[in-house]
């Protein structure tokens, strides 16, 4: 049986899947699609949160020009310096810049070299295993005090549906090739589910520290860091905190050498400071634009634009378009409380995609008032001089008034009685071209 198209879409809509460390479910379609609509912080921002909460990270500065990087390297006054390109994707160590420079992470003892390397990083694209082929533009670099690493382990804390709550995930073999460890030696991946009401127990932190291979006094230190990371995870409403490498130094310190934190966007109202740190510059422009109007946009590769409310309805719409022989070009999810201006913006975004040959509106008016949608649609059609066929299926609150608005508009809008009808009409309108 063919995999349901909705299942594929679900992977992009449900962030808990998209944000799971990739290696946990190799080959799963959902996990390969990283959604970039959600708040993502750069390493330096995550490390600031960590150090503010008692987690051990290296001293560092951030720079946006090569000169700033050079100055920062001097100011750091460290025996050795590590220079790191700041992009949201991992695998930087083994990445390549379109300036020709190899490696997004460099160690040197000479501040001057930091300046030279930064010049080949800032403003260039860094391509890694986790970025698109052309890479991602580097706007900032981190200049940190390098420490010797005697052992690299892997530690993550994530919200996991399979455990209905947080789980610690760790491996004594961390570092850059954790995906391969997961594939070839799954027995080296340890999990420790945590009861969110009871919190992390000492015994659990100790067990993980031991599984990670921390010995002697390092075991207590690692357990202490794990507990602090867990408490941070809760405090900031994270869905994932990933530290790779979670390393030890020859001097006997446990240090978080790298950091990747993802957040629960539903917690934005109580995490205002953190959400204000989002620079959004790495998101796709159309997604940014959508976020600005509180709309969620997901690009797909067909030709029927879908304007829906709610992730469930989006998936159903996707399925029924496929079942009727069509392919969705994208989705715009309107969410709950809708304003007329949002509908206008939504249409503007949907039609800015040159792939779009028809628009299917499928709105269920529960919280949404259908008349508001209808007014928004007619206004958008007029002002944007819509050139593609538009099929509208509205149902629910105030639907009669909405129908009247659409019918009396004099615009070439095709009404549909239900989802099936809407999909058929949308697919037919594309086929006719
Ligand atoms: P990633 O490749 O994007 O995951 O970037 P990381 O921050 O994890 O750095 C990649 C690798 O560089 C790490 O796995 C370490 O082996 C190495 N590295 C990073 N920081 C330091 C450091 O301070 N000292 C040493 N010796 N190696 C480091
Ligand atoms: Mn790393």
pLDDT, tens digit, 9 for 90 and up, residues 286-299: 776 787 788 888 88
pLDDT of residue 28: 31
Whether 242 is catalytic: yes
> Quick one: pLDDT band at residue 206, thresholds 50, 70, 90?
very high
pLDDT of residue 413: 92
Closest Cα partner for 334 from 365, 299, 302, 301?
A: 365
How remote is the CA of residue 398 from the centroid of ligand 1, in Å? 58
> Quick one: pLDDT band at residue 340, thresholds 50, 70, 90?
confident
Closest Cα partner for 158 from 257, 246, 264?
A: 264
pLDDT of residue 384: 84
pLDDT, tens digit, 9 for 90 and up, residues 43-55: 999 999 999 999 9
Our answer on whether the CB atom of 243 is closer than 6 Å to any ligand 1 atom is no
pLDDT of residue 29: 30
Burial 83-120 (b: 16+ CB within 10 A, else e): bbbbbbbbbbeebbbeeebebbbbebeebebbbbbbbb
- Report the C-alpha gap between 172 and 296 in whole angstroms: 39
Our answer on whether the CB atom of 177 is closer than 6 Å to any ligand 1 atom is no
Average pLDDT over residues 213-237: 97
Our answer on whether the CB atom of 148 is closer than 6 Å to any ligand 1 atom is yes
How remote is the CA of residue 55 from the centroid of ligand 2, in Å? 16
How many Cα neighbours within 13 Å face the side chain of 377? Answer: 34
Average pLDDT over residues 386-411: 91
Task: Reduce the DSSP state of residue 193 to 3 states and report it.
Answer: strand
pLDDT of residue 326: 94
> Quick one: pLDDT band at residue 364, thresholds 50, 70, 90?
confident
Q: Which residue would you say has higher pLDDT here, 355 or 285?
A: 355
Q: Counting beta carbons within 10 angstroms of the beta carbon of residue 187, is it exposed (0 to 12), middle (13 to 18) or buried (19 or more)?
A: exposed
pLDDT, tens digit, 9 for 90 and up, residues 308-321: 988 888 889 999 99
Closest atom, ligand 1, to C-alpha of 148: 26
Average pLDDT over residues 206-233: 98
End-to-end Cα, the chain, rounded Å: 31
Q: Output the six-digit token pair for 356.
A: 């779009």
pLDDT of residue 431: 76
Across 24-28, 297-301, 411-415, least confident range: 24-28
How remote is the CA of residue 221 from the centroid of ligand 2, in Å? 21
> Quick one: pLDDT band at residue 87, thresholds 50, 70, 90?
very high
pLDDT of residue 284: 62
Q: Counting beta carbons within 10 angstroms of the beta carbon of residue 327, is it exposed (0 to 12), middle (13 to 18) or buried (19 or more)?
A: middle
Please, which residues have CB within 8 angstroms of residue 110's CB and are 6 or more apart in sequence? none
Our answer on whether the CB atom of 257 is closer than 6 Å to any ligand 1 atom is yes
Identify which ligand lies nearest to the alpha carbon of 84.
1
Please, which residues have CB within 8 angstroms of residue 368's CB and are 6 or more apart in sequence? 309, 334, 336, 337, 338, 396, 397
Our answer on whether the CB atom of 145 is closer than 6 Å to any ligand 1 atom is no
Across 122-131, 267-276, 329-338, least confident range: 329-338
- Provide the whole-model pTM: 0.69
Whether 154 is catalytic: yes
Q: To test the ligand 1 pocket, which listed residue (84, 96, 149, 253) has its Cβ within 8 A of the most ligand atoms?
A: 149
Task: Reduce the DSSP state of residue 415 to 3 states and report it.
Answer: strand
- pLDDT tops 80 at residue 14: no
Torsion angle (degrees, nearest 10) of CA 11, 15, 17, 20: 140
How remote is the CA of residue 431 from the centroid of ligand 2, in Å? 48
Angle made by CA atoms 397, 399, 401, in degrees to the nearest 5: 115
Q: Output the six-digit token pair for 374.
A: 């209808």
Our answer on whether the CB atom of 82 is closer than 6 Å to any ligand 1 atom is yes
pLDDT of residue 123: 96
Task: Reduce the DSSP state of residue 426 to 3 states and report it.
Answer: helix
Task: Reduce the DSSP state of residue 360 to 3 states and report it.
Answer: strand
Q: Output the six-digit token pair for 288.
A: 């940014």
Q: For 270, which DSSP code?
A: G
Question: Can you tell me which residue has the tokens 């205002």?
Answer: 272
Average pLDDT over residues 195-217: 97
What angle, 0 to 180 degrees and rounded to 10, lies between the N-to-C axes of helices 285-292 and 340-351? 170
The mean of the pLDDT values for the chain is 87
- pLDDT tops 90 at residue 76: yes
> Quick one: pLDDT band at residue 132, thresholds 50, 70, 90?
confident
Q: Output the six-digit token pair for 297.
A: 């946009």
Asked whether the beta carbons of 234 and 248 are under 8 A apart, the reply is: no
Closest Cα partner for 281 from 143, 141, 142, 138?
A: 138
Which member of 68, 192, 242, 282 is catalytic? 242
Across 75-89, 157-171, 323-337, least confident range: 323-337
Across 7-16, 115-124, 188-197, 242-251, least confident range: 7-16
Across 116-120, 188-192, 257-261, 334-338, least confident range: 334-338
- Report the C-alpha gap between 103 and 80 in whole angstroms: 17
Hey, whose CA ends up nearest to atom 10 of ligand 1? 93
Which member of 44, 154, 230, 297 is catalytic? 154
């Amino acid at each position: 049986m063919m995999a349901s198209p909705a299942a594929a879409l679900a992977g992009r809509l449900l962030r808990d899947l998209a944000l799971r460390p990739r290696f946990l479910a190799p080959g799963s379609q959902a996990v390969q699609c990283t959604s970039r609509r959600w708040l993502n912080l750069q390493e330096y921002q995550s490390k600031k949160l960590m150090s503010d909460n008692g987690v051990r990270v290296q001293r560092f500065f951030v720079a946006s020009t090569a000169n700033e990087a050079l100055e920062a390297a001097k100011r750091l006054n460290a025996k050795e310096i590590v220079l790191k390109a700041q992009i949201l994707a991992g695998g930087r160590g083994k990445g390549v810049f379109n300036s020709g420079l190899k490696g997004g992470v460099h160690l040197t003892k000479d501040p001057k070299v930091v300046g030279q390397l930064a010049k080949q990083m800032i403003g260039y694209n860094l391509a890694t295993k986790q970025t698109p082929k052309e890479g991602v533009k580097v706007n900032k670099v981190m200049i940190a005090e390098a420490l010797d690493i005697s052992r690299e382990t892997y530690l993550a804390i994530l919200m996991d549906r399979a455990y209905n709550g947080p789980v610690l995930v760790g491996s004594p073999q961390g570092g850059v090739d954790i995906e391969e460890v997961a594939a070839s030696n799954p027995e080296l991946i340890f999990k420790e589910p945590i009861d969110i009401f009871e919190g992390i127990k000492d015994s659990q932190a100790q067990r993980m520290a031991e599984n990670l291979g921390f010995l002697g006094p390092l075991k207590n230190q690692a357990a202490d860091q794990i507990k602090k990371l867990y408490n941070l995870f809760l405090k900031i409403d994270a869905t994932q905190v990933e530290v790779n490498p979670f390393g030890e130094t020859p001097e006997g310190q446990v240090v978080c050498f790298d950091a990747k934190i993802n957040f629960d966007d539903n917690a934005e109202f109580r995490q205002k400071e953190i959400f204000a740190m989002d620079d959004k510059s790495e998101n796709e422009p159309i997604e940014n634009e959508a976020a600005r109007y509180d709309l969620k946009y997901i690009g797909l590769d067909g030709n029927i634009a879908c304007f829906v409310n709610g992730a469930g309805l989006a998936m159903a719409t996707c399925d029924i378009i496929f079942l009727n022989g069509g392919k969705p070009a994208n989705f715009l999810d309107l969410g709950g409380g809708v304003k007329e201006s949002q509908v206008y913006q939504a249409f503007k975004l949907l039609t800015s995609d040159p792939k779009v040959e028809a628009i299917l509106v499928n709105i269920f008016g529960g919280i949404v008032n259908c008349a508001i949608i209808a007014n928004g649609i007619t206004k958008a059609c007029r002002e944007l001089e819509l050139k593609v066929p538009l099929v509208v299926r509205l149902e629910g609150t105030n639907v009669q008034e909405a129908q009247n608005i659409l019918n009396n508009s004099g615009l070439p809008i095709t009404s549909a009685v239900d989802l099936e009808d809407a999909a058929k009409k949308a697919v037919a309108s594309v086929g006719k071209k």
